[in-house]
Chains A and B, each alone.
Chain A
Amino acid sequence: MSRGKLLEVRGLEVAYGGIRAVQGVDLAVAAGEIVALIGANGAGKTTTLKALCGLLRPKSGSLHYEGADVTGKPAYHLVRKGLSLVPEGRGVFPLLTVAENLAMGAYIRNDHDAIRNDFDRVYALFARLAERRNQLAGTLSGGEQQMLAIGRAMMSRPRLLLLDEPSMGLAPLMVQKIFETVRAIAAEGVTLLLVEQNARLALETCSRGYVMESGRVVLEDSAAALLASPRVRQAYLGE
């Protein structure tokens, strides 16, 4: 276990029934980093993220977070430790209002004054959410729902935020906006692990990246090196 690593994963394997979706992934994220995890559909990115935040139990391998072994610990344990996930496809609660959704993000906390401040912080980050705080989340546009999902995760005061496909199904302008916020969140000192299909955007935002193929990490390098790599350019940047 090396020092300075916020999250360290060794030999992670996750299986659904007999199908091994993740077959021995090693990765590490240092505090303050923005790391990208890219790859094609079905490469095992989402499964990896779910295992990292405790929504799926790994079949084997180890997970260390903040230096402690958290292998097999469930999500409700890890969220309290500051490890939060923004799920794929947003996963907002459609029948709750924007404000109620944000309140759910702070479910594990009971420091009410600080929570009130964090509401203001999120509303400052996403003015659009402030305007619609009493609206049902299900009536928001896709982009607004993504903002809400990110804002909701921020309400748990994460140290490490796992973002699953924040650009999915959004118009290009909206994607730009979401990524601006992602950078703003990183600038606040939150460590980010970003799963993206939009490889170029992800690598331009991040400092390092991992490339996954069929359940394995096949490449690992600085973002700049990956952007220059012929293999990545051909397979993921469409060149």
Chain B
Amino acid sequence: MNPGCRPWLRWALWAAIALLLLILPFATEALLGRSWVRILAVALLFVMLALGLNIVVGFAGLLDLGYIAFFAVGAYSYALLASPQFGIHWPVLVLLPLGAALAALFGILIGAPTLRLRGDYLAIVTLGFGEIIRVLLNNLNRPVNITNGPQGITLIDPVQIGGLSLAKTQEFAGLTFSAAHNYYYLFLLFALLTIVVSLRLQHSRIGRAWEAIRDDELAAAAMGIHTRNLKLLAFAMGATFGGVAGGLFAAFQGFVSPESFHLIDSIMVLCMVVLGGMGNVAGVVLGAVLLTALPEALRYIGPLQQRLLGEVLIDPADLRMLLFGLALVLMMLLRPQGLWPVRRKSQTAETADVS
């Protein structure tokens, strides 16, 4: 947003963005079909996840390759307490904070033993942690069946708001709100909340302390920053976002299994952060939306081959991931700082030699 522009213009712009976000699912449905409304909802979940990881990686500079574990913790805590698995059906208003708190606890659990590690070493330990969570979820069906193992947990309760189930299609003011529409609006609310919290954190005393730790941990400690607590806080805050997103994911899908929480999923979220512009909230949002939409858009290359060449020459599934990888490489080559890097105040290039 240009700070120089007049206030009414700013408000008009904000109003336009708000309106766009409100009509987006209907416009998308009309143009691309209902499956894309679902993709929009998923993209918003990834916005939450990427912003959570951005706190850890972008703000505090701690490379976390096991971030999806917090998503899993949130998803499974919701799934176990709102499904026939144990016959427990707690309300969403209890389960989301609970999932957030549990994820934060796991954030501290992984943060505490890794406080002295940085960079590659930290990445390896967090990667291991992420895998441990997934393997646990996969195997906690014996001797006592807790997670139902690889089959996962089904029939998870949808989000209910005032007796209204978001999983059911609603008619309102002549518009048809499918489940995807309903969840889109719910996730939009949470994503906006996540964005506001991220921005407030970034420009707070805590955010600055994180940046200092990222730039030079020893110097940060010499400034009187309590580096241990602030790093733990970064892990816990990032995990909280992941935990909330996980709970919402479980309710949205109605089904969770360990399959959703692979290393590749951690890497995808990290790609969103890095590709969007590490540390910049707007960039990370952009990265999350693009990287959710791109693999879906690449599904059209099958039909496209059919139309252009009259036959499907290359298996679309293979070509899809190939093109996706190529797109990642190209983006990083062309914009190494990310698509929308952190804006840096007046970087005067001239560094006159004073010595």
Binding between chains A and B: yes
* Chain A residues with a Cβ under 8 A of chain B: 53, 55, 74-76, 79-80, 84-85, 87, 91-97, 100, 103-105, 107-108, 128, 132, 134-136, 139-144, 152-153, 156, 170-171, 173-174
Interface SS, B side: loop
Contact among B208, B348, B354 for A100, CB-based, below 8 A: B208
A65 → chain B, closest Cβ, in Å?
14
**Chain B residues with CB below 8 A from A141, complex form:** 351-355
Query: Are B225 and A170 in contact, CB atoms less than 8 angstroms apart?
Result: no
**How many pairs, one residue from A and one from B, have CB atoms within 8 Å of each other in the complex?**
98
B346 at the interface (CB under 8 A from A): yes
Contact among A55, A132, A156, A173 for B348, CB-based, below 8 A: A132
Chain B 308-333: CB-based contact to A (< 8 A → 1; otherwise 0): 00000000000000000000000000
Looking at chain B, what size class is its interface with the partner chain?
A: 20 to 34
Give A95 to B342 CA distance when docked, in angstroms: 10
**Chain A residues with CB below 8 A from B220, complex form:** 93, 104
A51 → chain B, closest Cβ, in Å?
13
Give A140 to B215 CA distance when docked, in angstroms: 15
16 additional A-B residue pairs with CB within 8 Å, beyond A55-B218, A85-B222, A107-B225: A53-B222, A55-B222, A87-B219, A91-B218, A91-B219, A95-B211, A96-B208, A96-B212, A97-B344, A100-B208, A104-B208, A107-B224, A108-B224, A139-B349, A141-B351, A142-B355
Query: Are B348 and A135 in contact, CB atoms less than 8 angstroms apart?
Result: yes
List 16 A–B pairs whose Cβ atoms lie within 8 Å, in order of A's numbering. Answer: A74-B226, A75-B224, A76-B226, A91-B216, A92-B216, A103-B208, A104-B223, A104-B225, A107-B212, A134-B346, A135-B346, A135-B347, A135-B348, A143-B354, A156-B224, A174-B354
Q: Which 3 pairs across A and B sit closest by C-beta, in order of nearness?
A: A79-B224, A91-B219, A171-B355
* Chain B residues with a Cβ under 8 A of chain A: 205, 208-209, 211-212, 214-216, 218-226, 342, 344-349, 351-355
Query: Are A91 and B212 in contact, CB atoms less than 8 angstroms apart?
Result: no
B149 → chain A, closest Cβ, in Å?
43
Give A53 to B224 CA distance when docked, in angstroms: 10
